[in-house]
Amino acid sequence: MTAYIRALVARGPGTTPAVEEIHLPEIGPGQVRVRIRAAGVCHSDLSMVNGTLSPPYPLILGHEAAGEVVEAGAGVTRVAPGTHVALNWSPPCRDCWFCTHGEPWLCSTANVAALENGSTLDGAPVHVTLGLGAFAEQVVVPERAVIPVPSELPWESAALLGCAVLTGTGAVRNTAKVAAGDSVVVIGLGGVGLSVVTAARAAGAASVIAVDVSESKKALAEAAGATDFVVSGETLSKEIRSRTSGRGADHAFECVGRAGTIRAAWRATRRGGQVTVVGMGRADDMVQLSALDIFSSARTLRASVYGSADPDAEVPQLAREVVSGALNLDHLVTDRIGLAGVPAAFERMARGEGARSVVVL
């Protein structure tokens, strides 16, 4: 079965994405066709069009999504038509060195920024973001790029599990391993940063200090579980130390992806503390730290790629937590839009407004 569907396409850097008609390929062995029900607007999608990243064009945007399987190819065993799934933009191969050594989030064959999957636009190949291109009515993806979730899980929650929630929660649970009684600073309160806040509180952190450039994020931070809110500025490290007995925080999470905020996270952390970079930044945005400071502070600086998580195991676990009421994601969705509303959502994101806009189809 072939299909023409509507999708949000970027024709080039700096251009405004527009809804266009795409021709999807017939599914092959090991592939599935998914009807998209909800898709979150992630900062990584904005990075595909604002110059932070340099993907090939034309490009179907979107990667944080959930939907219903409508067709399964030969040999598919994981799902069947009617199965509710969250999409996985970084499906591990399970065969490379990283996968066989317990680090599937670093899989050497995953994390392709944009590729061709047989879809066409005006008769010519069109690329899809992170192998998915999920700002679309339907997608055709490999079986390993879908993760079954309970049918009672709301579509919007299922979509957020595939990126923002897994990334933020995994950064706390897997990468930093925040423990009860720890002090935590979270810089940047988009969907990922707010997920870090929630996970840190759930881990038993004694204080979770949420930081953003916009005062309007205070209510969102408090809804996520923050104990304190600070507007970012030149005195940030002083503000953090005043709330952490003069030492600085045990953990700082940078959820922006900029050299300046990485340095701010570094300065806000105590000696011997941990700085976890969750945000994805530009290749030419260089982070400068003093060699003496690195030695004398004894801090650890590391990144958290996709929450250092195995999505096949952890997305279903998070889904169970949402269904049981143990994990509340209601505060993360601040706007519900259609495909044509994504460019305006990008503008809100660039201004630092809201948490997650979600495309509902």
Report yes or no on 310 lying in a domain.
Answer: no
Report yes or no on 160 lying in a domain.
Answer: no
Report yes or no on 324 lying in a domain.
Answer: no
| Mean pLDDT for all residues in the chain | 94
Digit-coded pLDDT (tens) for 201-256: 999 999 999 999 989 999 999 999 999 999 999 999 999 999 999 999 999 999 99
Whether 347 and 272 share a structural domain: no
Whether 83 and 133 share a structural domain: yes
Rounded CA gap, 206 and 195, in Å? 17
Report yes or no on 286 lying in a domain.
Answer: yes
Q: Name the residue range of residue 122's domain.
A: 3-148+329-360
User: How high is the pLDDT of residue 240?
Assistant: 96
Q: Write the burial class of residue 16 (CB in 10 Å: 0-12 exposed, 13-18 middle, 19+ buried).
A: exposed
Whether 176 and 283 share a structural domain: yes
Sorting pLDDT into bands at 50, 70 and 90, what band is 310?
very high
Digit-coded pLDDT (tens) for 58-109: 999 999 999 999 999 999 999 999 999 999 999 999 999 999 999 999 999 8
Instruction: Of 43-57, 172-186, 265-279, give the lowest mean pLDDT range.
Output: 43-57
CATH code of residue 68: 3.90.180.10
Alpha helices (H) in 43-92, listed in sequence order:
43-47
Residue 323 sits at φ, ψ, to 5 deg, of -60, -40
DSSP 162: I
Whether 74 and 183 share a structural domain: no
Report yes or no on 321 lying in a domain.
Answer: no
Sorting pLDDT into bands at 50, 70 and 90, what band is 112?
low
User: How high is the pLDDT of residue 178?
Assistant: 98
Percent of the chain with pLDDT over 70: 98
Report yes or no on 323 lying in a domain.
Answer: no
Whether 84 and 123 share a structural domain: yes
Query: Quick check: helix, strand or coil at residue 86?
Result: strand
User: How high is the pLDDT of residue 231?
Assistant: 95
Report yes or no on 117 lying in a domain.
Answer: yes
Whether 237 and 278 share a structural domain: yes
**Could you tell me if 147 and 85 are in contact, meaning their C-beta atoms sit under 8 angstroms apart?**
yes
**Could you tell me if 186 and 255 are in contact, meaning their C-beta atoms sit under 8 angstroms apart?**
yes
Rounded CA gap, 174 and 69, in Å? 30
Digit-coded pLDDT (tens) for 256-267: 999 999 999 999
Please state the domain count of the chain. 2
Residues in the chain: 361
Extended beta strands in 202-332, E state: 207-212, 228-231, 249-254, 269-277, 300-303
Mean pLDDT of 187-214: 96
Whether 120 and 205 share a structural domain: no
Whether 218 and 285 share a structural domain: yes
CATH code of residue 292: 3.40.50.720
Sorting pLDDT into bands at 50, 70 and 90, what band is 352?
confident
Whether 174 and 286 share a structural domain: yes
Whether 68 and 183 share a structural domain: no
Whether 22 and 98 share a structural domain: yes
Report yes or no on 233 lying in a domain.
Answer: yes
Whether 133 and 266 share a structural domain: no
CA angle 83, 139, 282 (to 5 degrees): 115
User: How high is the pLDDT of residue 24?
Assistant: 93
Q: Write the burial class of residue 13 (CB in 10 Å: 0-12 exposed, 13-18 middle, 19+ buried).
A: middle
Residue 341 reports pLDDT greater than 70? yes
Mean pLDDT of 114-124: 85
